[in-house]
Amino acid sequence: MPTVAIVSQKGGSGKTTLALHLATCAAYSGRQACIVDTDPQATAAAWGDWRGDFLPEVVTCPPVRIVSTIQRVTRAGAEFVVIDTPPLGDSSAREAVRAADLVLIPARPRAFDLHATEATAELVNFVRKPAFVVLNAVPARATRLIDETTRFVEKLGLKVCPVRFGERAAFHKSSASGEVASEAEPEGKAAGEVDALWKWTRKQLGMPAKG
């Protein structure tokens, strides 16, 4: 089961945003996608409630149930799983990373977010899973900031995902109504960034294009 874990010790770095956008892209590409929400605050699950019957499916589970939950949704037909985790969720992060084929670590290119990636780097380096920092809410024309951040991240033994998200109102506006950016603003920049991230993720996981 192609499984992506989204982890970061920092709250507000964009974990849930990334999780629901990736899973929704997978659903639009014709795959049965499932978000496994391990955050006690259950933000992804709340978004799923607002969204109603539209895909992707969102299920909640405590960290110790991640593996069994993935097995259950797989039996029910899931073809792609994204695990959303809480900030400071040591056991969630550990179990999610263990269960994953690919780890994505959203981080705003700011000191506090980058500091938080150090703990995550230790974890993924220990478990030896492919892991990429996804730079999120990157200001426009921030080439130097991106270069500095990339150097910092690479020193930690992590890689930077070639796809970045800008600071885009479409992300928070759409989530509040149970939508994703491409539904709220189909022609917007956020939609394009998400699509690029999905295509990149799909290739990382060796999933063929559909349709």
Ligand X SMILES: Nc1ncnc2c1ncn2[C@@H]1O[C@H](COP(=O)(O)OP(=O)(O)O)[C@@H](O)[C@H]1O
Which residues bind to ligand X, rule: CB under 6 A? 8, 11-17, 43, 87, 136-137, 165, 167-168, 171-172, 175
Q: Which is nearer to ligand X, 47 or 152 (CB)?
A: 47
What radius of gyration, in Å, describes the C-alpha atoms of the chain?
16
d(CA 102, CA 130) in angstroms, rounded, equals 5
70 token code pair = 């993935």
Nearest residue relative to ligand X (C-beta):
172
Q: Which is nearer to Mg ion, 29 or 38 (CB)?
A: 38
Residue 202, C-beta contacts closer than 8 angstroms, at least 6 positions apart: 29, 209
* Interface with Mg ion (CB under 5 A), residue from 43, 92, 117, 201: 43
Q: Residue 136: which of ligand X, Mg ion, none does it interact with, CB under 5 to 8 A by kind? A: ligand X
Q: Which is nearer to Mg ion, 15 or 31 (CB)?
A: 15
Contact between 16 and Mg ion per CB under 5 A: yes
Measuring CA to CA, how many Å separate 46 from each of 19, 53, 58, 177?
A: 13, 13, 9, 10
Q: Residue 167: which of Mg ion, ligand X, none does it interact with, CB under 5 to 8 A by kind? A: ligand X
Q: Which is nearer to ligand X, 39 or 79 (CB)?
A: 39
* Residue 173 CB, nearest approach to Mg ion (Å): 17
The angle formed by the CA atoms of residues 155, 161 and 165, to the nearest 5 degrees, is 120
* Residue 166 CB, nearest approach to ligand X (Å): 6
Residue ranges of alpha helices (H) inside 58-188 are 66-75, 90-99, 111-127, 143-155, 169-175, 181-184
